[in-house]
Amino acid sequence: MNFILRVIPWLILLLSFVILAWDYDSLPDEVLITRSFFGNETVLAPKSLFTVFRVPLIEAFCASAIEIMRRKFVGRNDHLHLMWSILLYTATLKSLFQSLEIVSTGGVVGLATIFFYVTFGAVVAGIISALIAARNHLSDLLRDNWVLSGAEKTILSGLLLLYLGLAIVPVFVFG
């Protein structure tokens, strides 16, 4: 059962890529890059492999960073491990819902907007759930003697730079 719980988030993330690949040819010539906080203003970009698969790629980088942190607490602090596990599921579900939003753009009127709000709700619920799961142990993040190796620091730094490049730069290029 533990193996299944570890694999499910990665299958959800993979499903995001599969959905976009399956519907790639039927996507409109311009795809959604970002929405404003209230969902009424959008930034669109010409359809390309980059613009279509950008969202699950971003979440793959986030999930990888979360996985590195999550593994630090296996057997050491179950509450913090659970917090990182919830955040991993949150990131992969965000990817899935955003992929569904992208393939819904141009389809049924309002469906993409519904997925926007479902995504927002899932992220808020995930963050709150993670904080509740670790509420009495968050200070352990600072006090615990866990240390990142040089390789982990390098990987996390690289993932951060990749995330920023994929998440922010296209908004300036296409916005």
Q: What is the pTM of this model?
A: 0.87
User: In 3D, which of 109, 112, 91 has the Cα closest to residue 10?
Assistant: 91
- Rounded CA-CA distance 60/54 in Å is 10
- 3-state DSSP call for residue 45? strand
What the block records as the tokens of 26 is 């039927």
Q: SS3 for 76? A: coil
SS3 content of the chain, % helix, strand, coil (to 5): 70, 5, 20
Please report the pLDDT score of residue 2 as a whole number: 78
pLDDT by 10s per residue, the chain, length 175 = 577 778 999 999 999 999 999 999 999 898 888 776 665 677 788 999 999 999 999 999 999 999 999 988 888 888 889 999 999 999 999 999 999 999 987 666 678 888 989 999 999 999 999 999 998 887 766 666 667 889 999 999 999 999 998 888 877 777 6
Residue 61's pLDDT is what? 96
State how far the Cα of 120 lies from the Cα of 108, in Å rounded to an integer: 20
At 45 the pLDDT is 86
Q: Are 43 and 51 in contact (CB under 8 A)?
A: no
What is the C-alpha separation between 5 and 89, in angstroms, rounded? 10
DSSP character string of 108-148: STTHHHHHHHHHHHHHHHHHHHHHHHTTTTTTHHHHS----
Count of Cβ atoms closer than 10 Å to residue 120 Cβ: 16
pLDDT for 67 = 94
Helix (H, G, I), strand (E, B) or coil at 66: helix
Task: Tell me how far apart the alpha carbons of residues 169 and 57 are, in angstroms, rounded to a whole number.
Answer: 14
